[in-house]
Amino acid sequence: NAGVTQTPKFQVLKTGQSMTLQCAQDMNHNSMYWYRQDPGMGLRLIYYSASEGTTDKGEVPNGYNVSRLNKREFSLRLESAAPSQTSVYFCASMREMSPQHFGDGTRLSIL
Amino acid sequence: AQSVTQPDIHITVSEGASLELRCNYSYGATPYLFWYVQSPGQGLQLLLKYFSGDTLVQGIKGFEAEFKRSQSSFNLRKPSVHWSDAAEYFCAVGANGNEKLTFGTGTRLTIIP
């Protein structure tokens, strides 16, 4: 099984451009998450989805939108990218009473 | 609200030496606790978890951690480190019925020959 798959792995954007990061899991997990990782700050939760059809804000949601397309897929959209959104983005999924499983990340640079 | 503190930003140990990485958490009830490891350019891999029961938990790669409620700690240990253990380590806390995790800022481990 692939686990959690994120696409793309790398991306460079210009300020003001839009982009959607894709995440898919094949473990039949209910909950899915988007984090950003910045040096010295650990992982910070952007948005999460506890089940298909629901989404909630995390710690740092400003500038982002999400869509839980179905049980497998959870996408993160940057409508107008800003340099402060340069980061590594991780998607994760979990089922109840179990650890989160992480993808390999998307490295996003905004010039 | 829950929080996690990893007081050591960077630790250097010699290969073969013992290791302890510190993690302190803040949460009102019994927490769910996790240690993850991240190698450069990779995602996070679960090392071990504590949900309930025995407070000394064993994980992969020879790691263990001990939950100490009185000290609000969940320190990670390994008796003898290998060069391949060089990575960044994250402690995380969650709560029963709440799917959100809170991560510490991480400890970067360097191994010297």
Nearest CB among B36, B43, B99 relative to A104 is that of B43
User: What is the secondary structure of A20-35 as a DSSP string?
Assistant: EEEEEESS--SEEEEE
Stretches in chain B below the pLDDT threshold 50: none
pLDDT band at A1 (very low <50, low <70, confident <90, very high): low
| Average model confidence (pLDDT) across chain A | 94
- Give the up-direction half-sphere exposure of residue B83: CA atoms within 13 A in the CB hemisphere: 2
Amino acid B98: pLDDT: 62
Q: In this structure, what token pair is assigned to residue A27?
A: 């473990």
| Tens digit of each residue's pLDDT (9 = 90 or more) over A34-68 | 999 998 888 999 999 998 889 999 999 999 999 99
Query: Is A105 within 8 Å of B42 when comparing Cβ atoms?
Result: yes
Cα B107 from Cα B90, distance rounded (Å): 7
| Tens digit of each residue's pLDDT (9 = 90 or more) over A57-107 | 999 999 999 999 899 999 999 999 999 999 999 999 998 778 899 999 999
> In chain B, what percentage of residues exceed pLDDT 70?
97
Nearest chain B residue (CA) to A51: B99
A99 φ, ψ (degrees, to nearest 5): -70, 165
Residue A62: count other Cβ atoms within 10 Å of its Cβ.
8
